[in-house]
Amino acid sequence: MAAASEESVKLDGNDKTANATSQQTHTTQNKKPICVIVLGMAGSGKTTFVQRITAHLHTHKTPPYVINLDPAVHEVPFPANIDIRDTVNYKEVMKQYSLGPNGGIVTSLNLFATRFDQVMGFLEKRSQQCKHVLLDTPGQIEVFTWSASGSIITETLASSMPTVVVYVMDTARNVNPVTFMSNMLYACSILYKTKLPFVVVMNKTDIVDHRFAVEWMTDFEAFQEALEQETSYVSNLTVHESHPGRVLLQPHVLPLQSRSYLICVGVSAVTGAGIPEFFDAIDKAAEEYERDYKPAYERLRKEREDTVLAEQEAQLKKLSVDVGAGDTLSLDAKASLLSSQVTSSHKSSAMYLTPGAGDNDDSDSDTGCTQDDEDLEEKKEYESFKRFLVREKAKGKSSKPADT
């Protein structure tokens, strides 16, 4: 009897282990990849950063699914699974619709967004094979952030899988406190608009260490001291108590640095420094999505589905009255009418896009900036960088112990 009971206990233990293993396998299979949307100002190093993290994931035998959303880029330095240039010819769009460079990018994104359901189908098929989905966006940040197509793409991804917004900053250019404040306010606006987990990437740390920016973000007095040392007209305005920049910076930027809203990571897309810390931040942001953001998006999706169903019912009732002269139609008649309506709408909205590879048309038009303006801007940034180095040198001297 004792042997039989021991054997039954052993079998029960094996059953529990098998059940736990099967549950863990089922959870792993159902886990969806993390979608990383990379945003940033022109020249901040977004594309180079995407190339670096793509190479990092390939090195660790976890290749990502990469999507390029910049129709105006001449060359993509990473392997892209989906490239908008293969679907939309950017320069042809500019010619056909008589648009400038930014208008051509917006229209190309709008055309691509009308078929984004096909992209979601590809992502669903590859969801069990990759852990990350990377999206490289156009250099003109406002084109994606504030356009209808950008909202459609972001909300579609966020409603289907864990989505994280990554804002890339050029650390070397942000040694100027005014530029830093502008970047922070823009980051806040994107955070409030997307309502998604947010990671700030301080890029180009191989040129300038990002610790000064972290200090400014956590200590307003240190930022104010650096701002007072600037001699430009704009910096003098921001020092004033009633200036909107000073008023906006305190309530919006400082609460973010409680680390409950904003995660900041310093990386170098050239050397690869800080990339492991970046993926740790992405994992934390994905957990934040599952905990705080996913319920809201599921509720939003359910509300939209209910709205679509209500509109379909209203259309069926209207068709019943119009076609049947007040008589109730049968279910078969309703189905045929609805299917014919859907078919006609698909025919009317059919879109034929030409591939965009191998284009040898004229180069992009001028942006309107003169050489004198660029030289003046470079001179201002050089002077600001010199003052930054003087401050850092003074801090280093003050931190050394006095000679005895």
What six digits make up the tokens of 134?
Answer: 């990377």
> What residue has token string 């892209």?
80
- Residue 30 has what pLDDT? 60
- Residue 216 has what pLDDT? 87
> What residue has token string 């965009």?
356
Q: What is the C-alpha separation between 394 and 375, in angstroms, rounded?
A: 29
- In CATH, what number is assigned to the domain containing residue 288? 3.40.50.300
Q: Is residue 388, in this structure, part of any structural domain at all?
A: no
- Residue 294 has what pLDDT? 85
Q: DSSP alpha helices (H): ranges in 44-100?
A: 46-59, 90-97
Q: Is residue 382, in this structure, part of any structural domain at all?
A: no
- Residue 124 has what pLDDT? 92
- Residue 65 has what pLDDT? 96
Q: Is residue 230, in this structure, part of any structural domain at all?
A: yes
Shared domain for 245 and 325, answered yes or no, is: no
Where is the domain boundary, 293, 314, 335? 293
- Residue 139 has what pLDDT? 84
Q: Is residue 141, in this structure, part of any structural domain at all?
A: yes
Q: Is residue 52, in this structure, part of any structural domain at all?
A: yes
> pTM for the full model?
0.71
Q: Is residue 69, in this structure, part of any structural domain at all?
A: yes
Q: Is residue 143, in this structure, part of any structural domain at all?
A: yes
For the chain, residues with pLDDT lower than 70 are: 1-30, 231-261, 322-374, 399-404
Q: Is residue 403, in this structure, part of any structural domain at all?
A: no
Residue closest to 231 by CA, chosen among 379, 13, 45, 79: 379
Shared domain for 242 and 287, answered yes or no, is: yes
Shared domain for 95 and 233, answered yes or no, is: yes
| Strand 65-68, strand 262-266: pairing | unpaired
Where is the domain boundary, 227, 258, 293? 293
Supply φ then ψ for residue 34, to 5 degrees: -90, 125
- Residue 333 has what pLDDT? 54
What six digits make up the tokens of 186?
Answer: 């823009």
Shared domain for 199 and 280, answered yes or no, is: yes
How many structural domains is the chain composed of?
2
Q: What is the C-alpha separation between 333 and 320, in angstroms, rounded?
A: 9
Shared domain for 282 and 304, answered yes or no, is: no
Query: Which domain does 225 fall in, by range?
Result: 32-293
Q: What is the C-alpha separation between 130 and 125, in angstroms, rounded?
A: 10
- Residue 401 has what pLDDT? 59
